[in-house]
Structure 1
Amino acid sequence: MRRAVLLCVVLAVAMPVAAAGYTRAMRSHSGTAPGMAPAAEQADRIIVDKPARLMRLTRGDKVIRSYAISLGGAPTGHKIRAGDERTPEGLYRIDWRNAGSIAHLSMHISYPEPRDVAAAKARGDDPGGAIMIHGMLNGWGWIGGAHRLVDWTNGCIAVTNAEMREIWALVPDGTPIEIRGQDI
């Protein structure tokens, strides 16, 4: 129990401080990115169930992989502004990837879409951005699946480094991602 509390403190304090630079080019902690899986094995859709902390890769009607995930530090509800630590909800796509990110590999989710920008502008807010699927922050891979004990990202979707390598190979750019919250 004491280890779990210590891990939560480390994750809650150290990781958000380091998490601000997802798009900053940095040397990947564990080397080169994996190649893409054969097209017949690749996912054609990602479904994220925020309340269940579950991400599924699908091909047609079949789930080909499932992953337990961590989300933003304030996971309930749709992302509405920069710094709210919410993971967006709705339909997006994977639009680019970064093999040299501050986290072990990262794949960008197309938030904010024009609808998000318009809604934020109507409220007088900045919608935020740099929402990714990624592994652990470089140098923190030793935490492995224990990172799931707390939602620690700034709105991203986090998995272990090994899982991120698999996702990287199975998910091509352009893949739709549906992020479901309580009301979806």
Structure 2
Amino acid sequence: MNTRILRRAFLSGGLTAVLSGCASKFRSDNGAEVIRLRMYKAQRFLILDGADGIVRSYPIGLGFAPEGHKQFEGDGRTPEGSYTIDRRNPNSLFHLSIGISYPNEADIAFAEAQGRSPGGDIFVHGGPRRGIDPMNKRDWTAGCIAVSDRQIEEIYAMVRIGTPIDIYA
């Protein structure tokens, strides 16, 4: 009887450990180091580059007004230009997210000259907690770059703060 209880406890604990490992949104990556991200808005594609070429690529969704460079807060556009990954958010409302350094000095100067705010908080992120399927390729964000939850887990594991990101029209 003691043996049966011990066996059940062992199996139950092992199953719990396995399932909790599968449920984690934090992955580790021992692959190639990502040295740059390239995003092509018109093609709806994000590419992660390593020293020896492309490491991974992903289909993306954009802001609800995908044409043109983000200029002002609330315009629904995704920025274009050269930026860096400047933060990581493990507690994002969108599963996980990595921040883009928008606005830069030129973005701020342009918006201020127009008497407007350039906005901010532009991220590469997964889907929201509920309601929108980011993989249907609709442009639904407020200017961010959307990928699936599984994809942002991979990106989050591979991309470090300071990594350049070039966003092309």
Name the structure 1 match of 2:78. 87
Aligned equivalent of 1:178, options 152, 156, 166: 166
The letter of the residue matching 1:71 is: L
Which aligned pairs between 1:66-145 and structure 2 lie closer than 5 A? 66-140=57-131, 143=133, 145=135
Residue 155 of structure 2 corresponds to 167
From 10, 25, 29, the counterpart of 1:37: 29
Residue 144 (structure 2) aligns with: 156
In structure 2, relative to structure 1, the CA distance for the partners of 1:32 and 1:60 (3 Å cut) is: same
Tell me the distance in 1 between the aligned counterparts of 2:24 and 2:94. 13
- How many residue pairs get aligned? The number is 148
Q: Normalized against structure 2, the TM-score is what? A: 0.82
CA change 1:32–1:114 in 2 (3 A) is farther
* Matched position secondary structure for 2:119: coil
Secondary structure at the aligned position of 1:165 is classed as helix
Measured on the aligned residues, the alpha-carbon RMSD in Å equals 1.8
Structure index of larger Rg: 2
Checking the alignment, whether the CA contact within 8 Å between 1:109 and 1:131 is kept in structure 2 is yes
Counterpart residue number, 2:4: none
Distance 1:112 1:144, change over 3 A: closer
Contact map agreement 2:81 2:167 (CA 8 A) in 1: yes
1:158–1:118 Cα change, 3 Å: same
Read off the aligned partner of 2:29 and give its amino acid letter. A
Q: Percent of aligned pairs with the same residue?
A: 43
| C-alpha contact 1:42 1:172 (8 A) present in aligned 2 | no
Distance 1:59 1:82, change over 3 A: same
Structure 2 unaligned residues grouped into runs of 5+: 1-21
Please report how far the alpha carbon of residue 123 of structure 1 lies from its aligned counterpart in structure 2 after TM superposition. Answer: 1.2
Secondary structure at 1:41 match in 2: coil
**Corresponding residue SS for 1:172:** coil
2:47 matches 1:59: no
The whole-number CA distance in structure 1 between the counterparts of 2:135 and 2:111 is 34
